Amino acid sequence: MIKEWFKSGSPWIWLNAAAVSTCLIMVVGVLGLIFARGVGHFWASPIVQLSYQEDDGQIKTIIGEHVDSSVTPAVMAKSAGFVLSDNEDVLIQYLMKTGNRDLTGSDFRWIQERHVKKQTEPENLISVERREWGNFYGQLTAVKENGNVIASGDKAWDVLQERLKVALELHEQIAHLEKKEIGSINYNLEQLRLAQRALELKNAWNPAKAKEFSDKKAAYDVDYKRYQAQTAELYQKIRRDSLVATTESGAELVIPLSKVVEVTRPNKMGVFSKIGHYVQKLGAFLSEDPREANTEGGIFPAIFGTIMMVIMMSVIVTPFGVIAAVYLREYAKQGFTTRLIRIAVNNLAGVPSVVYGVFGLGFFVYILGGKIDELFFPEFSPAPVFGTPGLLWSSVTLALLTLPVVIVSTEEGLARVPKAIREGSLALGATKIETLWRTVLPMASPAMMTGLILAVARAAGEVAPLMLVGVVKLAPTLPLDGNYPFLHLDRKFMHLGFHIYDVGFQSPNVEAARPLVYATSLLLVVVIIGLNLSAILIRNHLREKYRALEG
Amino acid sequence: MSELNNSVAQSGQNAATTSHNEKLRLIKDAVMRHVITVGGLSTICAVVVIFFYLLYVVYPLFLSASAEPITQYQIPSESAGKTLFLNIEEQNEVASRFTDSGAVIFFEAKTGKILAEEKVLLPEGTSIVSSVQGTPMREGAIAYGLSNGQAIIVKQQYKMDFVDNKRTIIPSLSYPLGEAPLVVDESGAALDRISFKIGESSTVIVAKTANKLHIASFEKEQSLFAEDSALIRSDSVLEMPVGTIKDILIDKEEHNVFVMYEDGLLNAVDISKKSNPEIKQQMTVIKSGEKVTSISFLNGDLSLMIGDSTGLVSQWGLVRDKSGKSMLEKIRVFKVSDSSIVAINASEQRRKGFMTIDDKGEMGVYHSTSERLMIKAHVSDSTPLAVILSPRANTLLLQNHDGKIHFWNIDNEHPEVSMKSLWQKVWYESYPQPAYIWQSSSASDDFEPKYSLTPLVFGTLKAAFYAMLVAIPLSLMGAIYAAYFMSPKMRVYVKPTIEIMGALPTVILGFLAGLWLAPFIEAHLSGLFSVLVIVPLTVVIFALSFQTFLPEEMRKSIPDGWEAAILIPVILIGGWFAFSISVPLETFLFHGTLRDWFKNEFGIGYDQRNALVVGIAMGFAVVPTIFSIAEDAIFGVPKHLTTGSLALGATTWQTMSRVVLLTASPGIFSGIMIGFGRAVGETMIVLMATGNTPVMDLSVFQGLRTLAANIAVEMPETEVDSTHYRVLFLAALVLFMFTFVFNTLAEIVRQRLREKYSSL
């Protein structure tokens, strides 16, 4: 019977089924992994206090968050140099985020479970998110104003929250002044310098102009001085308060509130306050600038850059892709040539994306960009404007990359429009373009939409070509701001995909940055899967519609 | 369609009622037709431009160089003596002439206009008997050996000065070891041959009198004020074999002195122990009866270029032998001419190029490592008196018997790349044997970039191979099941799920592969292997018990075509079991970890980010591509074929394997090809999941570097239009062609298949 079963080929069918199951497990596993790690990042995890016996036998206190654990079989642990007794089968290790990098030199440490003598979660432990040196963990002892203690013990917490609120507001004001107002003055001064240079190049620089320019400059200078005085004053205020806390080793540390983003007591938080905290952190992640070499803070510039780039790309790729598809399907004589073109277009979708990047860098940036600089921006020389990677060239390169997707999809849509509709329109006396514009294209528009969505999804996830034509790890300014001409196509920008690569692989503190990378990945995956699902839905809907039409 | 349209247009014209409005409509139609045609065609052309642009950038790599005479002029200040050397500075503006009377004439390189004349201070009653130009020549130092056993070292300096945004170059002379002549031979014998080397902290002068070699080295005393630091001098003398010495050369590190005799005897003298130099190797470098006619270092002062009277130039370098001693070995030979070589000039600054001139005045410009002959030109009717190649190797200055100096332009942009240097093993300097090496940049000037694409192509294929090893079984078996056995209800969900897998950004897959999968596999290597055995086994055992031992009613309660869903928990349990028994199994079988076992038994090392990780991650990325195309092909097999087969009594599996698969095989093949194309061009996964080391090692536990990752890493840092830039474009072109050919083949196969299906 078993022999027969094997002969019937059933095992093969089951193995084939197993392949499908494996694929499903892999997809769900990967998505689940990203989801689990990405979602957890903003949850306020408890701070534990451990009595830990160091290798030299001393008992020490360790305070920190539990991040990861590993189970190593005894054999491997021994070969890695751990000393284990014979009755131990496995070595359990925990990765603790102990923070306090300014004091200990590192954020993380691995500890062995068997050396943990006692574990508690005291409610008064605080976690301080700082602008420098990563997190701090310890106990709050006092709050100081101008170096004098104003609250200590239990009262300290409430006073701290009050003072911190003020400090954060001040920080926001300073940031606004420095980035927006002073940044704008600097931008205008630079524009003035360029305008002067342009006039000099045209030999139109004369005393009258010089007077006009120096007046303007003086006006900017006045503004600048005023803002500077304001920021100086704000700095004075923000430096006033500080908090005092003790670390795990008992040492005392004074942290100025100007360097503090948030102070929490996760062990004292209930579920609801944790949810509130979670939402707040998520909001900050999506709307703030990155800090500490991108390993902390938000990813707003990356989201913004990605969206800008994708919009620019869509604006470029849609008309060209649709026109090419309309030409191929409606105007060109069907035959060997169109077949050849179709094969070529189809295959361009398979050309490695990095090749497009190389082309973009060589052709768009160095040749086109160089020419544009020569003709229109001589005053910038020797600094390049469009002759260097930037938003425009990234969009154009990705438009080229996604062109085949739009062409193929649009063509498919055009092919699905029943012939009878076209013939009916022509028979009623409409010209060809009228037929196209009024009947065929509207009917094919969902297909174009599908193509565009797929193109957007591809562009949002593409990194390799962008590394060559315009993405940077940290862009000082957004490509869209309040300074004329508002949209700065020549600027470099940040991108979610590149952010993942850069923070995950190029940052000095990969361990600390990892949760952030997972969270960024989750965002990117959600966006891209959402786009793809909507494309699939539109496509299915379209099919149903035409089935009805044909029937 | 267009006929119909024409008839509409015609009928519109024939009817004489053409109103203004209708005319406008027709005009609009015609205009739009042109707009769309032009727009469509140009869009499609734009795409073709990519290919030609890549080609356009790569093309200059394989162009040969050219040389042309620009001007000639009378020798400046001819009365100042016979020319010993000519020299030209980096900008090709100022040249200099050193004469046997100690005069130095600086003149404009293009016109011969004298800019300055200086005279080297010679002691009374002495004359110059030997002289040599130091290497690297751009430092412009020259040593004179005098008739009284003394030596003088002078240095030319070119100071840039900007006046009114115009650059002027001011030449001058300086004496790096002081103006007073240095006594090399106490007895006062004439220095027949002299050689020297100015290093960063020490200077060596080697001079020959009669048959003695005098070695004087001057070490700078370590001092904060380098200007007035004292020199510590040490001297030694070595007896040399009798014979005519052609030349003496000192290598870069001041460890070896090479003494070349005219009859071909080459002595390598070890001077690393200052007080006790010894001859460590003696060999004859040419055939007996021939003569060594010229010798020079290649840029970097590591390799000797030896020209002989038969027109051969051979390259010799110190190569470490098995015992660790470095010995001179012949690296390669160039057949330059049929007559005697009179000069070898290798003063190129950044490249390993050299120039030769034979006694008939034929000049040749070569590149040593790429073994390319770049230029051959007739520059003189007889043996030239002096010749110099400029530091940037773009001009040539030559003094002839006609009493004139000739100024040539040389256009030689990319000599270091040839088909051989790109694809074959090349013997680079200070390497023990020829090898495939990609090493594109380094900080130092005399570093030679090594552009072998072979390790990159190897890495690309290796990564793609392992990815296909993972992807093909999974995707094909999955496609077979999904297209033929799976219930339509489940298929509705499974297909989009797997297709979404293909839409996942590769940067995320790469990130997971590098930061999660790689450490996981490192810790659970044996678990991974046991999964490969245990999971299929579990599946078969489960299926067997399910189909043969389970009661009929229970089996019926599960509809057909949902096997894949039932198997998910089975596979999960099997996988978990495999990982949990792997450690005891590992301890039992290999007495330690599997990684150590591989290392100790086979000497296979383990990189954390290796081909295995890439294979799994990239396999994951390729599965949807192959799955989707193969599934379409299998699903599209006409139903009457399968029903016919089943009606004749074949089992479903027989029908599948003998009828369906055979019919759909071209489609499956095209799916695999497209998948392979994708794996070859994938950038981010390999960039993040491998160590990016360009090694050629088949081992699955070693890293690699692919063409695509290499472009992504190095492209942003290259200088536009440099050789490196063009070689990276070549890599992109190779990728482009490769994937384009594969995809086109696949597409043609698929179109044929579609026709076949419709005819069936």
DSSP string covering A240-261: SEEEEEE-TTS-EEEEEGGGEE
**Last residue of a domain, which of B234, B263, B284?**
B284
Q: How far is CA B314 from CA B281, B330, B362, B364, B427, in A?
A: 18, 7, 18, 14, 14
Q: What stretches in chain B show pLDDT beneath 50? A: 1-4, 7-9, 12
Model pLDDT, residue A310 = 93
Model pLDDT, residue B1 = 42
Give the structural domain span for B545. Answer: 454-759
> Which residues in chain B (178-217) have CB-CB distances under 8 A to chain A?
none
Q: How far is CA B68 from CA B379, B396, B398, B408, B524, in A?
A: 9, 10, 13, 6, 66
Q: List chain B residues with CB under 8 Å of A361.
A: 715
What ipTM does this complex have?
0.90
Determine, for residues B504 and A528 on separate chains, whether the beta-carbon distance falls below 8 Å: yes
Q: List chain B residues with CB under 8 Å of A524.
A: 505, 508
Contacts of A229 (CB under 8 A, 6+ apart): none
Determine, for residues A27 and B571 on separate chains, whether the beta-carbon distance falls below 8 Å: no
Task: Indicate the residue of B36, B654, B732 with minimum beta-carbon distance to A331.
Answer: B36
Determine, for residues A433 and B508 on separate chains, whether the beta-carbon distance falls below 8 Å: no
> What CA dihedral angle connects B477, B478, B480 and B484, to 10 degrees?
150
Query: Is residue B396 domain-resident?
Result: no
DSSP string covering A189-212: HHHHHHHHHHHHHTT---HHHHHH
Is residue A328 within 8 angstroms of chain B, CB to CB?
A: yes
Q: List chain A residues with CB under 8 Å of B712.
A: 354, 357, 464, 467-468
Q: Angle formed by the axes of helices A207-238 and A155-175, to 10°?
A: 180
Model pLDDT, residue B680 = 93
pLDDT at A335 over 70: yes
pLDDT at A294 over 70: yes
pTM for the structure as a whole: 0.89
Determine, for residues B497 and A27 on separate chains, whether the beta-carbon distance falls below 8 Å: yes
3-state helix, strand, coil in chain A (%, to 5): 65, 15, 20
Distance from CA of B751 to the nearest CA of A (A): 10
Residue B451 bridge partners (DSSP): B438
Q: Is the CB of residue B260 less than 8 Å from the CB of residue B293? A: no
The full 3-state SS of A437-448, as one line of letters, equals HHHHHHHHHHHH
pLDDT tens figures, A360-384:
999 999 999 999 998 988 888 788 8
Cα A308 from chain centre: 13
Query: Is residue B38 domain-resident?
Result: no
DSSP string covering A91-153: EEEEEEE---HHHHS-SEEEEEGGGEEEEE--TTEEEEEESSSS-EEEEEEEEEETTEEEEET
Query: Is residue B89 domain-resident?
Result: no
Mean pLDDT of A200-222: 88
Distance from CA of A72 to the nearest CA of B (A): 8
Q: Calculate the average pLDDT of chain A.
A: 88
pLDDT tens figures, A221-246:
999 999 999 999 999 888 888 999 98
Task: Indicate the residue of B8, B478, B739 with minimum beta-carbon distance to A23.
Answer: B478
How many pairs of residues across A and B have Cβ atoms under 8 Å apart?
341
Model pLDDT, residue B148 = 86
Distance from CA of A484 to the nearest CA of B (A): 30
Is residue B501 within 8 angstroms of chain A, CB to CB?
A: yes
Rounded percentage of chain A residues whose pLDDT exceeds 90: 34
Model pLDDT, residue B223 = 55
Query: Is residue B327 domain-resident?
Result: no
Q: List chain A residues with CB under 8 Å of B711.
A: 354, 357-358, 468
Q: Which of B36, B597, B600 to mutate to test the interface with A (most CBs of A within 10 A)?
A: B36
**Last residue of a domain, which of B238, B256, B284?**
B284
Q: Which of A3, A12, A14, A333 to mutate to test the interface with B (most CBs of B within 10 A)?
A: A14
Determine, for residues B523 and A72 on separate chains, whether the beta-carbon distance falls below 8 Å: yes
Model pLDDT, residue B2 = 46
- What b/e string do you get for B48-62 counting C-beta neighbours within 10 Å, with b at 16 or more? eebbebbeebbeebe
Specify the 3-state DSSP secondary structure of A410. helix
Model pLDDT, residue B439 = 87
Determine, for residues B593 and A347 on separate chains, whether the beta-carbon distance falls below 8 Å: no
Is residue A446 within 8 angstroms of chain B, CB to CB?
A: no
Q: List chain B residues with CB under 8 Å of A366.
A: 720
Count of the separate structural domains present in chain B: 2
Model pLDDT, residue B561 = 80
Q: Angle formed by the axes of helices B454-480 and B611-635, to 10°?
A: 40
Task: Indicate the residue of A17, A357, A403 with minimum beta-carbon distance to B481.
Answer: A17
Is residue B676 within 8 angstroms of chain A, CB to CB?
A: no
Q: Which of A355, A436, A540 to mutate to test the interface with B (most CBs of B within 10 A)?
A: A355
Is residue B507 within 8 angstroms of chain A, CB to CB?
A: yes
Look at chain B and count its residues.
760
Specify the 3-state DSSP secondary structure of B596. helix
Query: What residue has token string 């839905």?
Result: A537
**Last residue of a domain, which of B254, B284, B314?**
B284
Is residue A514 within 8 angstroms of chain B, CB to CB?
A: yes
- What b/e string do you get for B732-741 counting C-beta neighbours within 10 Å, with b at 16 or more? bbbbbebbbe
Model pLDDT, residue B15 = 52
Task: Indicate the residue of B44, B516, B708 with minimum beta-carbon distance to A324.
Answer: B44
How far is it, in rounded angstroms, from Cα B405 to Cα B332?
33
Query: Is residue B602 domain-resident?
Result: yes
The amino acid that residue B85 corresponds to is F
Task: Indicate the residue of B50, B480, B508 with minimum beta-carbon distance to A359.
Answer: B50
Model pLDDT, residue A83 = 80
Is residue A511 within 8 angstroms of chain B, CB to CB?
A: no
Is residue B645 within 8 angstroms of chain A, CB to CB?
A: no
Query: Is residue B383 domain-resident?
Result: no
Q: Is the CB of residue B626 less than 8 Å from the CB of residue B674? A: yes
Query: Is residue B630 domain-resident?
Result: yes
Determine, for residues B507 and A463 on separate chains, whether the beta-carbon distance falls below 8 Å: yes
Least confident among A15-29, A51-65, A75-89, B420-434: A75-89
> Which residues in chain B (34-93) have CB-CB distances under 8 A to chain A?
35-37, 39-41, 43-44, 46-50, 53-54, 57
Q: Which of A3, A431, A509 to mutate to test the interface with B (most CBs of B within 10 A)?
A: A431
How far is it, in rounded angstroms, from Cα B57 to Cα B283?
46
How far is it, in rounded angstroms, from Cα B99 to Cα B351?
29
Model pLDDT, residue B586 = 79
> Which residues in chain B (397-456) have CB-CB distances under 8 A to chain A?
none
Query: What residue of B is the nearest CA neighbor of A72?
Result: B523
Model pLDDT, residue A21 = 93
The amino acid that residue A452 corresponds to is L
Is residue B736 within 8 angstroms of chain A, CB to CB?
A: yes
